[in-house]
Amino acid sequence: KKKEQIQFADDMQEFTKFPTKTGRRSLSRSISQSSTDSYSSAASYTDSSDDEVSPREKQQTNSKGSSNFCVKNIKQAEFGRREIEIAEQDMSALISLRKRAQGEKPLAGAKIVGCTHITAQTAVLIETLCALGAQCRWSACNIYSTQNEVAAALAEAGVAVFAWKGESEDDFWWCIDRCVNMDGWQANMILDDGGDLTHWVYKKYPNVFKKIRGIVEESVTGVHRLYQLSKAGKLCVPAMNVNDSVTKQKFDNLYCCRESILDGLKRTTDVMFGGKQVVVCGYGEVGKGCCAALKALGAIVYITEIDPICALQACMDGFRVVKLNEVIRQVDVVITCTGNKNVVTREHLDRMKNSCIVCNMGHSNTEIDVTSLRTPELTWERVRSQVDHVIWPDGKRVVLLAEGRLLNLSCSTVPTFVLSITATTQALALIELYNAPEGRYKQDVYLLPKKMDEYVASLHLPSFDAHLTELTDDQAKYLGLNKNGPFKPNYYR
């Protein structure tokens, strides 16, 4: 099976994240890399004692007698249900969407195959989609971010979920395949985070792919791959780029990272930020969020950036814009959030000072060249879950968090409220694509209509007791707007 995967990895050039000169890579390099590259240390990431038996070997059934799932331990379902109920308290917009649309069942007949982080918050989304009439089969887009008890609760509720924390690379693809490949059930919608599921269906099940009515993708990485497919003329279904909708960009990328960057760093290292020198690579929405939090705690922040507009924004916000090799010897913390690859190379790592902390806030684990550290002269010491000390021959240590994977989802949690905004956007995008009349969406990548962005935002205002001002007819006419929106043109950012 492994062999067969590697074979077709060779012809995946059009779908790889960034073309290489040779055009041939091993499978782990050609998928989004946010999700794989497991090493022997992976076992210590899991949170249960029975690691010896893979969930794939276990025969488990839920209380209704179904075994159409594969999770770590179905007995944890009750605990997971409580987690989901707590998440629902802070996801009022998604719940109100569920209540409003439950009667008309806008997703009746939709067979959604999904691949996202499996947490209490995404469980609220999955259950909302089911309440709106959809049938769902789900797998995880990251081998470490699954909450086992939540996966168990979903399985108990009858969702076909295939995921557990600490999967191997082989498990990861097996789970995706089990979601797609089921007798008598054929997916007609895809919800993806990172593009791995889309890629698997495109390569392995081209007949299923052709019949898909729409793809909803929520990450920079996955959207990049969709645009590559589209450019090559190989995208035969409409896709919705949720990542670049204003609600996702501003809330998930900016406000969410502003809160979770410190959480991830504090939980893993207990570092004090006042006076620390930190370099943040990339000043996009994620970078802006991280820098705002670090600055507020009194850190001295440097930025690296390739885009002159983002660089100028960083200057105006009071940050020094530098090249990484100008500050690498003096900084205490290095944070990457560029969406690129090899931003921190072995050369940079060699020049860092003792006990420098290195971590990644971007979706993919390609930003820090972790592979270059797996050489005989360097010693790896697992200090605690998600924290490795990499020790050089002269005794210098570099503190690497989550092996270069997404820090906030690997090492801490993400604010539920922010995820509610993204999840509501995803649900609306699925409803829009599934119910769109023939011909509204062609075989291309689309942005969510501005009107929907505004609707998502308006659903969240009641929880702040916020009151919107209404335009008078005269004012609306003066601005050339409809009183009910959209209030900004589609190109507004």
pLDDT for position 277: 97
Same structural domain, 175 and 271: no
- pLDDT, one tens digit per residue, over 455-472 is 888 988 988 999 999 999
Residue 353's domain comprises 254-411
pLDDT for position 44: 33
Same structural domain, 231 and 264: no
More confident: 229 or 6: 229
Whether the pLDDT of residue 37 is over 90: the answer is: no
Query: Is 404 marked as binding a ligand?
Result: no
Q: How far apart are CA 187 and CA 182, in angstroms?
A: 9
Tell me the three state secondary structure of residue 431: helix
pLDDT for position 51: 53
Whether the pLDDT of residue 299 is over 90: the answer is: yes
Task: Give a yes or no: residue 469 inside a domain.
Answer: no
Q: What is the average per-residue pLDDT within 294-322?
A: 97
pLDDT for position 364: 77
Same structural domain, 217 and 270: no
Q: Are 400 and 420 in contact (CB under 8 A)?
A: no
Reading the block at residue 12, the tokens are: 């995946």
- 38-47, 67-76, 202-211, 435-444: which range is least confident on average? 38-47
Instruction: Indicate the pLDDT class of residue 1, thresholds 50, 70 and 90.
Output: very low
Whether the pLDDT of residue 256 is over 80: the answer is: yes
Same structural domain, 85 and 223: yes
Q: What is the average per-residue pLDDT within 157-172?
A: 94
- pLDDT, one tens digit per residue, over 2-19 is 444 444 444 444 444 444
Whether the pLDDT of residue 32 is over 80: the answer is: no
- 23-27, 158-162, 179-183, 432-436: which range is least confident on average? 23-27
pLDDT for position 493: 65
Whether the pLDDT of residue 114 is over 90: the answer is: yes
More confident: 158 or 10: 158
Same structural domain, 180 and 314: no
Instruction: Indicate the pLDDT class of residue 117, thresholds 50, 70 and 90.
Output: very high
pLDDT for position 397: 96
Query: Is 252 marked as binding a ligand?
Result: yes
Same structural domain, 114 and 229: yes
Q: What is the average per-residue pLDDT within 254-266?
A: 90
More confident: 364 or 65: 65
Total domains present in the chain: 2
Same structural domain, 238 and 258: no
Same structural domain, 84 and 229: yes
Same structural domain, 103 and 124: yes
CATH number of the domain within which 216 lies: 3.40.50.1480
Q: What is the average per-residue pLDDT within 286-312?
A: 96
More confident: 486 or 344: 344
Q: What is the average per-residue pLDDT within 133-142?
A: 94
Task: Give a yes or no: residue 474 inside a domain.
Answer: no
pLDDT for position 382: 95
Same structural domain, 223 and 201: yes
Instruction: Please enumerate in sequence order all residues whose Cβ is within 8 A of that of 154, keeping only pairs 6 or more positions apart, or say none.
Output: 69, 80, 118, 123, 126, 127, 138, 161
Query: Is 286 marked as binding a ligand?
Result: yes
Task: Give a yes or no: residue 315 inside a domain.
Answer: yes
Task: Give a yes or no: residue 100 inside a domain.
Answer: yes
Query: Is 248 marked as binding a ligand?
Result: yes
pLDDT for position 52: 67
CATH number of the domain within which 316 lies: 3.40.50.720
SS3 percent helix, strand, coil of the chain, rounded to 5, is 45, 15, 40
Instruction: Indicate the pLDDT class of residue 248, thresholds 50, 70 and 90.
Output: confident
Reading the block at residue 366, the tokens are: 């390609």
pLDDT for position 50: 47
Instruction: Indicate the pLDDT class of residue 391, thresholds 50, 70 and 90.
Output: very high
Task: Report pTM.
Answer: 0.78
Q: What is the average per-residue pLDDT within 43-56?
A: 56
Sign (positive/negative) of CA torsion 78, 79, 80, 86? positive
Task: Give a yes or no: residue 9 inside a domain.
Answer: no
Per-chain mean pLDDT for the chain: 87
Task: Give a yes or no: residue 358 inside a domain.
Answer: yes
Task: Give a yes or no: residue 333 inside a domain.
Answer: yes
Whether the pLDDT of residue 42 is over 70: the answer is: no
Instruction: Indicate the pLDDT class of residue 153, thresholds 50, 70 and 90.
Output: very high
Same structural domain, 90 and 226: yes
Query: Is 305 marked as binding a ligand?
Result: yes
Q: Are 153 and 120 in contact (CB under 8 A)?
A: no
Whether the pLDDT of residue 152 is over 90: the answer is: yes
Q: Which of 372, 394, 411 is the last residue of a domain?
A: 411
pLDDT for position 34: 46
Whether the pLDDT of residue 94 is over 50: the answer is: yes
- pLDDT, one tens digit per residue, over 315-360 is 999 999 999 999 999 999 999 999 899 999 999 999 999 999 999 9
Whether the pLDDT of residue 437 is over 80: the answer is: yes
Same structural domain, 235 and 92: yes
Sign (positive/negative) of CA torsion 48, 53, 54, 60? negative
Residue 422 phi, psi (nearest 5): -65, -45
Task: Give a yes or no: residue 16 inside a domain.
Answer: no
Q: Are 356 and 405 in contact (CB under 8 A)?
A: no
pLDDT for position 20: 38
Query: Is 285 marked as binding a ligand?
Result: yes
Instruction: Please enumerate in sequence order all residues whose Cβ is within 8 A of that of 222, keeping only pairs 6 or more positions apart, or say none.
Output: 32, 192, 193, 194, 195, 198, 243
pLDDT for position 448: 85
